[in-house]
A and B are shown apart, each in its own frame.
Chain A
Amino acid sequence: MTTCQELVEGLLEYLSDELWPPKRAEFDLHLARCGSCATYVATYRSTIEMARAAYDPTHYAPEVPESLVQSILAKAPKTVAKRERGVG
């Protein structure tokens, strides 16, 4: 019989479908009966989703200080062929 501890410790393999089928069936059975573990699995999944979403580029895009841009450009390699440039 799978205990709560075994379930929680094996959760990563369970969710990424890496458990061998009999073990997986035991986990399924445990989850059908144990509300606390079912909630643990749900909140573990939420955690992964939220970690990803917290940095969604639709919302999260830091402003780059001009000083950083200039400092990077100052160290850019110099032009190979010496020609005149109209852009500065």
Chain B
Amino acid sequence: LARGVLSWAAMDVDPPTHASGERPETPFLLPASNEPGGQRSFSEGRAVSNQATTVPAALDEETLLAGLKAREPAAFEAFVRAQSGRMLAVARRFLGNEADAQDAVQDAFLNAFRAIDGFQGDSRLSTWLHRIVVNAALMKVRTRSRRGEEPIDPFLPVFREGGVPEHPTSEWKHAGVDALARAESRQVVRQAIDRLPTSYRNVLVLRDIEGFDTAETSRLLDLTPSAVKIRLHRARQALRALLEPHFREAKS
């Protein structure tokens, strides 16, 4: 059994992080396998996985699944330890409040434990779990107070008579993915997403970050596909406006 436990523990485990969620950028704090170049090699460098992972990853998942279905405590523990970090990351995208995000992760695991017998293995376990945590987070969003939500209109562009913009758009300096090489810039973007009104943020996170399509998003949020598109467009426009002060070309 110990052998099996080791390989579960090695399944897709992320390197350790700072409490903020940002991985430390000082290389010597990282496991040897996590090169500063940003290569995703999660498990090779970890002491625990070195001897036990001669089994292919697919078999690991099969073994893990069998363990979960047999209600093996060690399987549950390996599963929770391997997946909870990424699940918390997902929950935080929907929920600005850390306690709510952790509650959503807990709810998601309990739902997953209950549903595990019905899991057929037709998708990856992590994909299945992703959907479960998204649902748990959305449920939490719905039960949470909506006070303090900002209206979206102030962040949408204003046009004069004849469809001319009130303010011409300024170019951005150092925008795009390259700008996000700095942890500070990533933090700016995450905080801006947090400021979006909930109903817009949900759509933006599902479509642009979690990778759901319009049809799936409309089912998850109980909206028509055209309502999803309208909200997505407004959410992107509002996020654009919130990011503008940080990335706009500096005027000399």
Contact = CB atoms under 8 A, between A and B. Distances in A.
Our verdict on whether A and B bind, yes or no, reads: yes
Interface of A: 3-6, 8-9, 11-13, 35-37, 39-40, 42-44, 46-65, 68-69, 71-73, 75-81, 85-88
Contact of B180 (A13, A53, A62): A53
B77 A57 contact: no
Nearest to B193: A51
Nearest to B16: A63
Chain A CB within 10 A, most for which of B18, B22, B102: B102
Contacts of A39: 168-171
B172 A80 contact: no
A11 B14 CA distance: 37
A71 B107 CA distance: 11
B89 A57 contact: yes
Interface of B: 1-2, 5, 14-23, 38, 40, 70-74, 76-77, 80-81, 84-86, 88-89, 92-93, 102, 105-106, 109-110, 113-114, 157, 159, 162-165, 168-172, 175-177, 179-180, 183, 186, 189-190, 193, 204, 208-209, 229, 232-233, 236-237, 239-240, 243-244, 247
Nearest to B249: A39
B119 to A, nearest CB: 14
28 contacts: A4-B163, A8-B165, A8-B237, A39-B168, A39-B171, A40-B169, A43-B171, A43-B240, A47-B239, A50-B177, A50-B180, A52-B208, A53-B177, A55-B93, A56-B180, A57-B40, A59-B23, A63-B18, A68-B84, A68-B88, A69-B84, A72-B105, A75-B109, A79-B73, A80-B70, A85-B1, A85-B74, A86-B2
A58 B38 CA distance: 6
What 5 pairs between A and B have smallest CB-CB spacing?
A3-B163, A5-B163, A54-B189, A62-B21, A36-B168
Nearest to B179: A50
Nearest to B37: A58
Given A4-B159, A54-B186, A60-B186, A49 B177 contact: yes
Given A6-B163, A46-B172, A59-B22, A54 B180 contact: yes
A47 B186 contact: no
B88 A62 contact: yes
Contact of A55 (B40, B85, B190): B190
Given A51-B239, A62-B20, A73-B80, 14 more contacts: A3-B164, A5-B163, A5-B165, A36-B165, A50-B177, A56-B180, A59-B38, A60-B23, A61-B85, A61-B86, A69-B81, A72-B106, A81-B70, A86-B1
A87 B73 contact: yes
B23 A80 contact: no
A39 B114 CA distance: 50
Contacts of B85: 61-64
B243 A55 contact: no
Nearest to A2: B163
Nearest to A3: B163
